[in-house]
A and B are shown apart, each in its own frame.
Chain A
Amino acid sequence: MIKKTLSNIYLVLIFLFLYLPLFVLMTLSFNDSKSKVIWGGFTLKWYSRCFKSETIMNAFFTTIQITLLAALLSTILGTLAAIGISSMKKKSKTIYLGATNIPLLNADIVTGISMMLLFVKFTNLSFVTVLIAHITFNIPYVILNVLPKIQQANKYTYEAALDLGASPIYAFYKVTWPEIRAGVFSGFLMAVTMSLDDFSITYFTKGPGINTLSTMLYTELRKGIKPELYALSTILFFTVFILLLAINIKNNQKQHRR
C-alpha cells in the first residue's frame, strides 16, 4: 500500500517537472495582464495579436514552407535510400546505416555550424540553405522509420509480382508500397516534427531576413518578452504534440491489425 502510494507520488512529481513549465506558459498566454505573476483574468487577445503581428506571421509562413518542403523531399530521398540500403549486403548495410545515423547523434549546434561553414564557401545563406539543411537532418529520421517496414515486407511478394508479369515500377506500386506506406507516412510526420522545432541548425544556416518561428522567438525574446509569444509557443507545442500523438496512434493501429 505504502509502496503504491510512493510510486504514485513519484509519478506525479515526474509529470509535474515535465509539464509544469509548459502549463505556466499556457496559463500566461491567456492572462489579461502583462505581468508574469498576477492573474488579470482570461483573454484571447494575445492569440489574436499574435495572428495580426507581421513578424510572427512571416515567420509562420516561412516555417510552414520549410517544414513541408523539407519533410516532403526528405521523405522521398529517405525512402529511396532505405530501399537501397535494404538490398545491400550485410557489411555495406552496417556501414551506410551507421553513416546516416551519425547526424542523429551529432549535437545540433555542431551540425549547424559545420553546415554554415560549408554553405558560405559556395553560396550566400538564404531560404534555400535552410531548406537543404533541414532535408539533410530529416533524412536519417525517415530512413529509421521506413527501413524496418521494408525489411518486414516480404521479398517474395515483389518477386512474385514480377513473375506474374508486372514491371518493376508496377510491382513496387502494387505490392511493396502498400506494405511500407505506413512507415513512409510516419517518417514524413517525424520529419515535420523535427523541422518544426529545430532551432540551432536553422539559426546558423538562415540568410538575412529569413526567420522560422523558433529563430524569430529567440530574436524577439531578446528584445523583451511579449505575451503574444506565449500564445505562439502554446500553439507550437500543441502542433508538435498532436503530430506525435498521430504517429503513435498510427503505429498502434498497425500493430493491432497484425
Chain B
Amino acid sequence: MKKELIKFIDISKSYGNHLVLDEFNLSVKENEFVTLLGPSGCGKTTTLRLLGGFETPDSGKILFDGKDITNLPANQRKLNTVFQKYSLFPHMTIEENIAFGLKISKKSTQYINDKIKYALKLVNLDGYENRSVDSLSGGQQQRIAIARAIVNEPKILLLDEPLGALDLKLRQSMQYELIRLKNELGITFIYVTHDQEEALTMSDQIVVMNQGYIQQIGTPEDIYNEPENAFVADFIGSSNIMDGIMIKDKLVSIFGIEIPCVDEGFGTNTPVDVVIRPEDLVITSPEHGFITGKIISTIFKGVHYEIEVLAKDYKWLIHTTKFANVGDIVGLSIDPFDIQIMKKAEYSDEKAVEIDEEL
C-alpha cells in the first residue's frame, strides 16, 4: 500500500464571481504519475497553483505528508514546478539556472557541480553547462526547466502543461522522457494538460475535471473504456454518444432498436447515455447490422478511415481500416461488450455528490 502524499480537503476557490473549484477533494499517493485533465477553465491549473503555493484557497485545507500546508509560502514547500514555458532565467547560463535552488539551500560547490552534471545527463543535455538560455530550442529549455526542478530533490514535481508549446514530434518524444524520468527518480508527478492523448500515454491515474468538479478518477484504461458520464466519454477520444433506455439488465434500446449489452444494475426502463467508440463499430452488409444507413463521408486519416454513416437521423462515427464508398447503404454491427452504458447526469451538482461519496 502506497503512502498518501497530498490531500485536498473541501477546497473552494473563486476569482471574483467565477467559482473555479467547488469543494474539491483529491488525494495523491507516493510515486504516482497523476494527470489532471480537462478543458481550459476546468480548474486544473488552479489546483496546481494552489499546491505550488501561488494561490490560497477561499476555504478548505491542503495536506502534504499529513501536515497542513494551506498557508505555507511557495518558497517553503518541498515541491517544485515546471511551468508552461519561458520560465528559465534569461540572464543566467544553464549552469546558473540549475544551481539556483541549490545555492539558496546553501549546498557545497562540489555538491552543486555534481548535481548539475547528474541532472544534465538525466535530461540528455550533457555539456550544456555554459550555454545561454536563448541558444536552446523550446524542447531543450523545457528539459532544463525539469533539470532545474529535480536537482532540489522534491517529493513532488508539478508540471503545468510543460509540453504545450512544443510541436507534435517533440511532444511525443518528451512524453517518453517524462515517463523514464518518473521511473528513474521515483517521485510523484502531478501533470496538468488538456491533451487527452498525453494523459493516456503517461499517467498512472487520470483525474478528469470540468467546471471545477472531478468527473472521473481512474487509470487510463478505465477512463477510456468505462467513462462514467457523457462528458468524460466525449472529452476522451471521439465517441458516439446517444440517448438510450435501459429496458432491463443486459438490454438497451437506442432509437427504438433493442440491442444486447453487458451492463447491469440500472433498473428497468431507465433513461441512460450510451457510448460507442468509433473503432468498435463494424460496417457490414445491410442484413447483418442492427441498423442500416447511408455513408455520407469517408476521410483518410493515415492509420484508418474516418467514416460517417447517417442512420435514424444520427451521424455515426466509425474508424475502420477498410475503405467504403460514399453513398453505399450499409449495416452497422457491434459486440455487446463494446457498448458502454452511463447513468444520466442532469446537473453538475449531482456529479459532485457522486464524487464525494466515492472518496
- Chain B residues within 8 Å of A159, by CB: 52, 54, 74, 81, 83, 87
Q: Which residues of B contact A161 (CB under 8 A)?
A: 89, 100
Q: Please determine whether B91 and A178 come into contact, CB atoms closer than 8 angstroms.
A: yes
Which A residues, 161 to 184, have Cβ-Cβ distances below 8 Å to chain B?
Answer: 161-168, 170-171, 174-175, 178-179
Does A219 interact with chain B (Cβ within 8 Å)? no
Q: Would you call A156 and B87 a contact (CB within 8 A)?
A: yes
Contact pattern, B 74-102, Cβ under 8 Å of A = 1, otherwise 0: 11100011011111111100000000110
CB distance from B290 to the nearest CB of A (A): 53
Chain B minimum-CB-distance residue to A170: B104
**Residues of B37-92 whose CB lies within 8 A of A:** 52-54, 73-76, 80-81, 83-91
User: How long is the Cα–Cα vector from A171 to B91 in the complex, in angstroms?
Assistant: 14
Chain A binding surface SS class = helix
Verify A163–B105 contact, CB threshold 8 A: no
Chain B proximity mask over A194-220: 1 for CB below 8 Å, otherwise 0: 000000000000000000000000000
Please determine whether A165 and B75 come into contact, CB atoms closer than 8 angstroms: yes
Q: A164: which of B80, B84, B90 is its contact (CB, 8 Å)?
A: B80
A162 with B90: CB separation less than 8 A: no
Q: Among the listed B53, B84, B88, which residue makes an inter-chain contact with A157, where contact means beta carbons less than 8 Å apart? A: B88
Bound CA–CA A124/B325 (angstroms): 95
Interface residues contributed by chain B, number (CB under 8 Å): 26
Residue contact A160 to B87, C-beta cutoff 8 Å: yes
Shortest C-beta distance, B16 to chain A (Å), equals 9
Residue A154 lies at the interface, judged by CB distance under 8 Å to chain B: yes
In the complex with contacts A156-B84, A159-B83, A166-B90 CB distance below 8 A: no
Taking the complex as formed, is B152 at the interface, i.e. its CB lies under 8 A from any CB of chain A? yes
Q: In this complex, which of A164, A166, A175 has the most chain B Cβ atoms within 10 angstroms of its Cβ? A: A164
Q: Is the CB of B75 within 8 A of A154?
A: no
Minimal beta-carbon separation of A128 from chain B (angstroms): 39
The answer to whether B101 touches A165 (Cβ under 8 A) is yes
Residues B81 and A163 in contact, CB atoms below 8 Å apart: yes
The answer, yes or no, to whether B148 is at the interface (CB within 8 Å) is yes
B253-294 vs A, Cβ < 8 Å mask (1 yes, 0 no)? 000000000000000000000000000000000000000000
- Are A162 and B87 in contact, with the CB atoms below 8 A? no
Q: How far is the CA of A69 from the CA of B226 in the complex (A)?
A: 71
Q: Name the distance in Å between B116's Cβ and chain A's nearest Cβ.
A: 14
Query: Please, how many angstroms separate the alpha-carbon atoms of A10 and B113 in the complex?
Result: 64
What per-residue 1/0 map shows which CB atoms of A225-248 lie under 8 Å from chain B?
000000000000000000000000
Tell me the chain B residues, 230-273 only, with Cβ under 8 Å from chain A: none
Determine how close the nearest CB of chain B comes to the CB of A258; give it in whole angstroms. 9
CB atoms of A154 and B86 under 8 A apart: yes
A: interface residue count bin: 10 to 19
- Per the bound structure, the CA–CA distance linking A154 and B165 in Å amounts to 16
CA distance A83 to B322 in the complex (A): 62
Do A160 and B104 have beta carbons less than 8 Å apart?
A: no
B145 to chain A: which residues have CB within 8 Å?
A: 160
Contacting pair A164 B87 (CB below 8 A): no
B101-113 contact mask (Cβ, 8 Å, vs A): 1 or 0: 1001100000000
- Contact residue among B73, B76, B83 (Cβ-Cβ distance under 8 Å from A160): B83
Nearest A residue (CB) for B158: A163
Residue interface bits A68-101, CB-to-B below 8 A is 1, else 0: 0000000000000000000000000000000000
A156 with B83: CB separation less than 8 A: yes
Contact status of A162 and B74, CB under 8 A, knowing A157-B88, A179-B91: yes
Chain B residues within an 8 Å CB radius of A154: 86-87
- How many angstroms from the CA of A154 to the CA of B148 in the assembled complex? 18
Residues of B within 8 A of A162 (CB): 53-54, 73-75
| Interface of chain A residues 118 through 177 with chain B (CB within 8 A) | 154, 156-157, 159-168, 170-171, 174-175
Which chain A positions have C-beta within 8 A of B148? 160, 164
Residues of B within 8 A of A167 (CB): 75
**Min C-beta distance of B85 to chain A, whole Å:** 8
A95 to chain B, nearest CB (A): 17
Cβ-neighbour of B89 out of A165, A168, A170, A175 (below 8 A): A175
Contact of B90 among A163, A165, A170, A179 (CB under 8 A): A179
Return the chain B residue nearest A175 by Cβ.
B89
- In the complex, residue of chain A having the shortest beta-carbon distance to the beta carbon of B96: A174
| Residues of chain A with a CB closer than 8 A to B84's CB | 156
B88 touches A164 (CB 8 A): no
How many angstroms between the C-alpha atoms of A166 and B53 in the bound complex?
Answer: 13
Listed from nearest, the 4 A-B pairs whose CB atoms lie closest are A164-B101, A156-B87, A160-B87, A162-B74
Interface residues of A (CB under 8 A from B): 154, 156-157, 159-168, 170-171, 174-175, 178-179
18 A-B contact pairs sorted by A residue (CB < 8 Å): A156-B85, A157-B88, A157-B89, A157-B90, A159-B52, A159-B54, A159-B74, A159-B81, A160-B148, A162-B53, A162-B54, A162-B74, A163-B80, A164-B75, A164-B100, A164-B148, A165-B152, A171-B75
Known: A159-B87, A160-B81, A164-B101. 4 other contacts (CB 8 A): A156-B86, A163-B52, A167-B75, A178-B91
